[in-house]
Structure 1
Amino acid sequence: MNFAMKLNYRLQSDQSPADALPAVLIHGLFGNLDNLGVLARDLKPDHPVLQVDLRNHGLSPRSTEMNYPAMAQDLLELFDDLDIGKALVIGHSMGGKAAMALTAIAPERIEKLVSIDVAPVDYALRRHDKIFAAINAVTEAGLTQRSAAAALMRESLAEEGVIQFLLKSFHEGEWRFNVPVLLDQYENIVGWQKVPAWPHPALFIRGELSPYIQDKFRGDIARQFPQARAHVVAGSGHWVHAEKPEAVLRAIHRFIDPV
């Protein structure tokens, strides 16, 4: 049984037309509601923008349960609390999977879906073991300053962008994501339970250099999202929205606001 939690969120609706559908932005693993800020700033003149902290992330509540049905239930409760009847839902990585899981329990509440660099599949891979080790090393060392934490993390992590991304959730010696639960529930996060076919428009944005959306996943995507279309962003990896924001935003606008 999945019990919904009251998510922390930010809603900006002062600039957009009164009849515009809200755009809901959902971050990935180790993230928070600020991570898709470049998208939020661009979208808010045309749409109310709702940014959320998923459970066990940011300032949202903690739980020992971390799976996509639970995350989807959290999102649905937030929609209900905010009287959002229908929305455009955009998620990166784990957030994309949470958005896709929402189609299973509230198919008519999503007008269009954008999944940024993630497919509806069980990856069955442990891509984040070095990250967990670096995070735990900072905790075990009792560090409180970001500069010291960064120096320690550089001993095991080569990508400076990843280190700086993680440190956005490091405050006064504490991580604003629930490290023990994310590690314990990691198989659920990389895993996937197939959802019923959702017959509405879906856009899958892929970073050309990223392994997360591959040609071998086309069948899985088409069976669950038969109206899916794909957009590849050249020269980008998994954090495609941070690496090539203009290209991602062009693709999103063409999809959600066709002229």
Structure 2
Amino acid sequence: MSIELHHVDTGGDGVPLVVIHGLFGSADNWRSHVKSWQQRYRVIAVDLRNHGSSPHVEGMGYADMAEDVIRLLDSLDIPRAHLLGHSMGGKVVISLANLAPERVASLIVADIAPVAYGHGHDAVFAALHRVKEGRPANRREADALLAEHVDEKPTRLFLATNLVRGEQGNLELRVGLDEIQADYDSIMGLPAGDGPFQGPTLVLRGEHSHYVSDERMPDVRQALPEAELVTLQAGHWLHAEQPEAFRQAVDDFLARQAV
């Protein structure tokens, strides 16, 4: 069942650039990039199901999430778009390209490979549940609760972007934590569709990230045979760690497409 996704649309002409966040992210994480890109493109930043301001529903399968995005494109009368996805969002855009390649002008996949990964978010789930139960009054209290399970300050700051002020005045999670955790296996699994996607593709990876290691490149080449590879001096959050280099790589790639 597809749903109506919350999104930010800058407006403008030409083939749009659709930006899709990763696990526990939202369109808000891409605000500075959208501000830059909107000078050249119509940009649409999406909140996936159970993230940001989009509805909370059961199921985190990639076919369903891709269908959500297709429904959004339909509602905006967009026949084709450039699709950019980071991490889980990268698997969403690969899935959409596999299932509906005619809707994809080009594909930009940021630090994810089309493979199944092992579980690696137990501490994050525990930290978010601690915040949910603790009902912190402010962000200092929320950070202390997150720190009981997550040592890294940058990770805690990222997770804290999911906090909003509730009706009772306490900070609450806007992310659909239970729905995400219930179908976590799907998130860590393979993209939907058979592929390969034969269209123009850019794969960006962080040199200090394990997600797109050299050992996984054969899987990337099989699923995305036209992929250009750019490696940035960053970890998994390459768009946040190297924002200018990330934007430049995207701009250079899009400049070679029929925008």
Task: State the TM bucket, normalised to the shorter chain.
Answer: over 0.9
Question: Structure 2 counterpart of 1:185, which letter?
Answer: D
User: Following the alignment from structure 1 to structure 2, what is the Cα–Cα distance between the partners of residues 141 and 111?
Assistant: 45
Report deviation, 1:69: 0.3
Q: How does 1:116-155 map to 2 (within 5 A)?
A: 116-123=110-117, 125-155=118-148
Range 67-76 or range 28-37, more displaced: 28-37
Counterpart of 1:120 in 2: which secondary structure?
A: coil
Does the Cα contact within 8 Å between 1:144 and 1:174 map onto a contact in 2? Answer: no
Does the Cα contact within 8 Å between 2:15 and 2:41 map onto a contact in 1? Answer: yes
- Deviations along 1:195-252, one digit per CA (max 9) or x if unpaired, are 3111101111001100110111122111111101110002x11100000001111111
Match of 2:197 in 1: 198
User: Following the alignment from structure 2 to structure 1, what is the Cα–Cα distance between the partners of residues 134 and 145?
Assistant: 9
Report deviation, 1:144: 3.4
Question: Structure 2 counterpart of 1:65, which letter?
Answer: G
Does the Cα contact within 8 Å between 2:135 and 2:172 map onto a contact in 1? Answer: no
User: Following the alignment from structure 2 to structure 1, what is the Cα–Cα distance between the partners of residues 194 and 160?
Assistant: 34
User: Following the alignment from structure 1 to structure 2, what is the Cα–Cα distance between the partners of residues 140 and 26?
Assistant: 29
Match of 1:166 in 2: 159
Q: How does 1:2-151 map to 2 (within 5 A)?
A: 3-13=1-11, 16=12, 18=13, 20-123=14-117, 125-151=118-144
Q: Give structure 2 stretches of 5+ with no counterpart.
A: 166-170
User: Following the alignment from structure 1 to structure 2, what is the Cα–Cα distance between the partners of residues 21 and 46?
Assistant: 11
User: Following the alignment from structure 1 to structure 2, what is the Cα–Cα distance between the partners of residues 163 and 195?
Assistant: 36
Does the Cα contact within 8 Å between 1:144 and 1:171 map onto a contact in 2? Answer: no
Report deviation, 1:258: 2.9
- Count matched residues: 251
User: Following the alignment from structure 1 to structure 2, what is the Cα–Cα distance between the partners of residues 77 and 148?
Assistant: 39
Q: Could you state the TM-score of these two structures normalised by the residue count of structure 1?
A: 0.93
User: Following the alignment from structure 1 to structure 2, what is the Cα–Cα distance between the partners of residues 181 and 144?
Assistant: 25
Question: Structure 2 counterpart of 1:231, which letter?
Answer: V
User: Following the alignment from structure 2 to structure 1, what is the Cα–Cα distance between the partners of residues 15 and 137?
Assistant: 41
Q: Could you state the TM-score of these two structures normalised by the residue count of structure 2?
A: 0.93
Report deviation, 1:72: 0.2
Report deviation, 1:143: 1.9
Task: Give the aligned CA root-mean-square deviation in angstroms.
Answer: 1.3
Question: Structure 2 counterpart of 1:256, which letter?
Answer: L
1:210 to 1:10, Cα distance in 2 relative to 1, 3 A: same
Report deviation, 1:58: 1.0
4+ aligned runs moved over 3 Å, structure 1: none
Does the Cα contact within 8 Å between 1:206 and 1:213 map onto a contact in 2? Answer: yes
- Deviations along 1:155-199, one digit per CA (max 9) or x if unpaired, are 321211111111111112221111111111111101114631111
Identity %: 37
User: Following the alignment from structure 1 to structure 2, what is the Cα–Cα distance between the partners of residues 175 and 195?
Assistant: 35
User: Following the alignment from structure 1 to structure 2, what is the Cα–Cα distance between the partners of residues 209 and 158?
Assistant: 19
